[in-house]
Amino acid sequence: MAESKAWKLLMKASLGSNNVLTEIFLNDMEYQSEKKMTESTLSLKLLIDPKNKRVLFAEAGKDAVDFIIHILSLPLASVIKLVGQQEMVGCLGNLYKSIDNFNTTYIQQGMNMDIILKQKAPNWTRSMPLVLLDKPDAPIVKNFYRCSYCIGSVADDARATCPSCSHSMNLKLNFVRYPWQSVETVYSEDGFVKGVASYMVTDDLVVKPLTAMLTIDLLNKFNVKELGELQEKEASLAMNEALKLLKASLHSNKVLTTVFLGDEYECKNVTISTEKVDDDVGTS
């Protein structure tokens, strides 16, 4: 909380409350919680064929598309844990359960099976507003040391003893990073796709940059004759819908229909523009 804001709230609360600190900080915590929930909700615009009760496609922004793409990075064990063992097709649910209940007597010493069964999201998801796994902890910056007399050995603990001369290895080294950024660094800043375009996500999760021509092709594919009969829904993609989307993607080729058409949204007729759209948008 900023210092000026804190003083203003403190003065205001002290004039009308006997629980000054509680009023200030609990209200601020509630605000931060509500803000976090808002930041973790993504928006989609669904185009629906009500006659056939299906979602034709969703118009999505960068954040929603980044989330959908990040599903491909989920470890298999994490997918089983998120979806539920009983919901998995085949025997993978049984495998997960058996290893989760495995007798630790037979596990290699020092091996933590949670590394496999309860993984966190990759580092490059840190800036994404919505991910299915717990976000990783802040990266730990490692320091490296050498002996003041010898240069043949390096340690990551200043208490280490030089194997050549037995002096303390407490001379801190400057770590020089290779000039090329790592893949994780790039993703942590920018996600996957550019934010300069809107994207089409079809009912079977095909993702493409949204263009007028692509929209017309899709309408022709589904033999849509009356554009006025189509409906538009504003939909939210929060954690609940995200889990449903993951689960539906394993069982169905009508994912958006499965996830969203069961909910009540206010629909309105939609006008589809046939004006030419630059196909190169977002690729420069």
Q: What is the pLDDT of residue 269?
A: 41
Q: Are 3 and 9 in contact (CB under 8 A)?
A: no
Whether 15 shows a pLDDT value over 50: the answer reads yes
Secondary structure, 3-state, the chain: CCHHHHHHHHHHHHHHCCCHHHHHHHHHHHHHHHHHHHHCCEEEEEEEECCCCEEEEEEECHHHHHHHHHHHHCCHHHHHHHHCHHHCCCCHHHHHHHHHCCCHHHCCCCCCCHHHHCCCCCHHHCCCCCCCCCCCCCCCCCCCEECCCCCCCCECCCCCECCCCCCECCEECCCCCCCCCCHHHHHHHHCCCCCCCCEEEECCCCEEECCHHHHHHHHHHCCCCCHHHCEEEEEEECHHHHHHHHHHHHHCCCHHHHHHCCCCCCEEECCCCCCCCCCCCCCC
Whether 20 shows a pLDDT value over 70: the answer reads no
What average pLDDT is seen over the chain?
77
* pLDDT-based confidence at residue 186 (cuts at 50, 70, 90): very low
What are the structure tokens assigned to 210, written together? 């949204």
Distance CA(78)–CA(70), nearest Å, equals: 13
Q: What is the pLDDT of residue 178?
A: 63
Distance CA(148)–CA(199), nearest Å, equals: 57
* pLDDT-based confidence at residue 72 (cuts at 50, 70, 90): confident
Distance CA(2)–CA(5), nearest Å, equals: 5
Whether 37 shows a pLDDT value over 50: the answer reads no
Whether 175 shows a pLDDT value over 50: the answer reads yes
Q: What is the pLDDT of residue 232?
A: 94
The pLDDT tens digits of the residues spanning 90-140 come to 788 888 889 899 998 888 888 888 888 887 776 666 667 777 777 666 655
Q: Are 61 and 103 in contact (CB under 8 A)?
A: no
Q: What is the pLDDT of residue 216?
A: 93
What are the structure tokens assigned to 223, written together? 């033999």
Task: Provide mean pLDDT across the span 234-245.
Answer: 91
Whether 199 shows a pLDDT value over 60: the answer reads yes
Q: Which residues does residue 46 pair with via DSSP β-bridges, in sequence order? A: 58, 233
Q: What is the pLDDT of residue 132?
A: 76
Whether 217 shows a pLDDT value over 90: the answer reads yes
Q: What is the pLDDT of residue 160?
A: 93
Whether 255 shows a pLDDT value over 80: the answer reads yes
| Weakest mean pLDDT among 13-22, 66-75, 133-142, 241-250 | 13-22
